[in-house]
Structure 1
């Protein structure tokens, strides 16, 4: 059994308003990147109330570039991190600039920032430990695999760009998959 790595609990102000769920309902981890410059900005975005329920968009865990792990939402709560998949999934956000600040500009779709090794190591440690707490946890996927919607580009509405591209081309899937007990989620029909 793998020990849980150090986690800094830092619940979002509205975390208690997110729906409860049974640990047995969680069978999927979704890997994201924040597409923001730093953890403080990611926290600010996570605190924004966007829904009538008094909640907003967030992941469960955030891993900073230095490998520190921050928990914004408890696993037994359903966070808003990927459309249509939230009730069964746990969202892990890696701090990475992605396409920031021109997310939907067709001229700025490259995601050039590599992931820090400390960040990847922390993710692997977390993914090795979570199945002990969540016995149904079996699958892993990237956000870009689950949200494939194309939207009008902000610079030219006649062009379409991916709404989500994270965790992006620099995410080390081979390294992560070789080190964890989870399997890649099969493609949806």
Structure 2
């Protein structure tokens, strides 16, 4: 009921301001008992968190790009329970597949892949409290679009009203949190270098969401 009320308020505000809300579609990935167990194992092994259900309290939103050209290929990457053998860079950190809570197509359509309060594997050190938003594209041939930016702005505002979100970061900024209380990664060798979703995209996103009064990044 609270979610419906929130969506109604957002729709009313959008219509009153003459803006059109992005389309939101449910497109769930596989989250069966095995994915649940792998998620619980990941929480324990990487963060020292022991739970019966892989639930999180979101305090952060992390923006990504898939570096994959199409929606279907991007979805097919996240849907399976097990990590692809092609991901040699993170195979040693567990069998749980990478995923995100939302996937935004290049036309701005938002696909909800899983509940925001379940853990998704999308950012080292911070999955235990981070909502992941993936954007289709990010290649030379498929740069992120204005429609995607608008949908990301909408999602950040929507999610910040639902959850106690303190930070919104680009994936490339995750290492700024290594000495922050949010950082729980136990494996000091588990790091990847990221550039998504690009500096320009994050600058524009922050400009459009500055009224949320989110916390500045560590060191700023």
Range class of TM-score, shorter chain = 0.7 to 0.9
Q: Which moved more, 1:176-185 or 1:117-126?
A: 176-185
Name the SS of the counterpart of 2:168 in structure 1: strand
Residue of structure 1 equivalent to 2:116: 75
Residue of structure 2 equivalent to 1:177: 206
Q: TM-score, normalised by structure 2?
A: 0.63
> Please, which runs of 5 or more residues in structure 1 have no aligned partner?
99-110, 149-161
Report which of the two has the higher share of strand. Answer: 1
- Per-residue deviation, residues 45-97 of structure 1 (Å, max 9, x unmatched): 11231289974101110100000000112101000000110011100011113
What CA distance in whole angstroms lies between the structure 1 residues aligned with 2:142 and 2:22? 25
Q: Is the 8 A contact 1:15 1:73 kept in 2?
A: no
Determine whether 1:10 maps to 2:10.
Answer: no
CA drift of 1:128 comes to 1.3
CA drift of 1:113 comes to 4.7
- Per-residue deviation, residues 94-148 of structure 1 (Å, max 9, x unmatched): 11133xxxxxxxxxxxx675321111111111111112221x1121111111158
What CA distance in whole angstroms lies between the structure 2 residues aligned with 1:125 and 1:30? 14
What CA distance in whole angstroms lies between the structure 2 residues aligned with 1:184 and 1:115? 25
Q: Is the 8 A contact 1:38 1:97 kept in 2?
A: no
| Higher Cα Rg, which structure | 2
Give the number of equivalent residue pairs: 160
Q: Is the 8 A contact 2:65 2:134 kept in 1?
A: yes
CA drift of 1:26 comes to 1.1
| Matching residue within 167, 171, 174 for 1:146 | 174
What CA distance in whole angstroms lies between the structure 1 residues aligned with 2:219 and 2:123? 15
Determine whether 1:187 maps to 2:218.
Answer: yes
